[in-house]
Amino acid sequence: MNKLRRSLLLLLLVLAWALAPLLLSRHLIDLFVFAGLFTIGGLGVGLLLGQCGIVNLAQALFYGIGAYSSAYVTVQLGLPSLTGFLAGMLASALIAIAVGWPVLRLTGFFLALATLALSLIGNVLFFEWDWLTGGTLGIGGIPKLSIFGFAFDTPERVYYLVWPIAILVLLLADNLVRGRPGLAMRAMRDAAPAAEVLGVDMHRLKTAMFVICAMLGSLAGSLFAHYVSYISVQSFTVERSIAFLLIPVVAGSASVWGIIAGALFVTFIPELLSGFGDIHQVLFGLALVLVVTLLPDGLIGGADRLAQLLKRRMA
C-alpha cells in the first residue's frame, strides 16, 4: 500500500475513533472504554507472550494492585489521584521484581502455573486483607479523575482519555519490539542457547518485561478504579487473568497493534452473545476454543492470510 493511501486510511481511522462517542449509545461507549483499559493491560501480557513466549496468568493481581492503590490513596488518604497511579505502579513493580526474580527461572507450563498460583494468592489476600481492600464490601466513592479542574466524569470524556493513553503505550511497545530489546527477546524465545552465547542476560530481560507487564496492568487498574468509582474483590479473579491472557492469544501473539483487536473481542463478544440467554457463557468458551483451534495466529494472522488469499486471487 503506498504512502498516500496509508496516510489516508490512518486519517479515516482517527476520524472514526474521534466521532464514535457522538454517534454511539452510552452503553457502547462504556464498552469501548473497557476495551481501552483492556488494551493497556493486555499489551503487557501480549509482550510477554508474543516476544518472550511466556504465559502470564497473573495480570489480574497487578490490575487489582493498581485499582486498590488508587482507591486507598484517594479515598482513605485523601491524596490526589496521580499519587494513586504512582503508588500502584511502584507497588506492582516492586512485587513483580520480588516475585518475578525467583519465579521466572521456571519455564513453560511450570511458569504458567506459577503465575496462575500468584493470581489466586492475590485474590485470597484481597479477600483477607479487608482493612486495605474492604474485602467483599469493596471500596466505594472513588473520585473521578480530573486534570486542572476538568473532570472525567462521563464515559465520553474517559473514552477520550483512555484511548490516547492506550495508543501511547502501544507506540512505546512497538518501539521496544522493533529495537534491540525486541531482538534480544525474540532471540531468547526462539534460540535460547544462541542468545546466551551472544551475551543476552535472559533472566534480567524476562524480569524487566515482567515488571513492565505489571506496571501496565497497574495503570489499567488505576484508570478502572477512577472510572467505575467502586471496586470489589469480584473484579480481580482468575477469570480476569484469563481474560487478559485471551487478548494477545485472540489477536495473534506477536502483533503489538493487534492487541486492540484482542481487547475488542474480549469486550464485545460476551456482550453480543448475552443476547442468546443463559447459554452465552458456553458460547463464549466455544468461540475462544474455535479461535485457538482454527486461527493459530489469532485474528490478525487470520486477517493476514485472508488478505494474502485475496491478493493471490486478484493477481
Q: Which is nearer to another protein, 200 or 233 (CB)?
A: 233
Decide: is 125 part of the binding site for another protein (CB under 8 A).
Answer: yes
SS3 state at 150: strand
Of 83-91, 198-206, 208-216, 227-235: span binding another protein (CB under 8 A): 227-235
Sign of CA dihedral 247, 251, 257, 261: negative
Q: Which is nearer to another protein, 135 or 182 (CB)?
A: 135
34, 169 contact by CB (below 8 A): no
Distance CA 147, CA 270 (A): 33
22, 78, 141, 197: which one contacts another protein (CB under 8 A)?
A: 141
Q: Which is nearer to another protein, 201 or 271 (CB)?
A: 271
Which residues lie across from 150 on neighbouring strands? Answer: 147
Q: 167 to 186, contacts with another protein by CB under 8 A?
A: 174
**x/- letters, 145..164, toward another protein (CB under 8 A):** ----------x---------
Decide: is 277 part of the binding site for another protein (CB under 8 A).
Answer: yes
Q: 45 to 74, contacts with another protein by CB under 8 A?
A: 49, 53, 55
Decide: is 203 part of the binding site for another protein (CB under 8 A).
Answer: no
Contacts of 170 (CB under 8 A, 6+ apart): 39, 43, 256, 257, 259, 260
Q: Which is nearer to another protein, 53 or 217 (CB)?
A: 53
SS3 state at 143: coil
**How many Cα neighbours within 13 Å face the side chain of 292?**
11
Residue position matching grid coordinates 482519555:
161
Of 63-71, 86-94, 211-219, 228-236: span binding another protein (CB under 8 A): 228-236
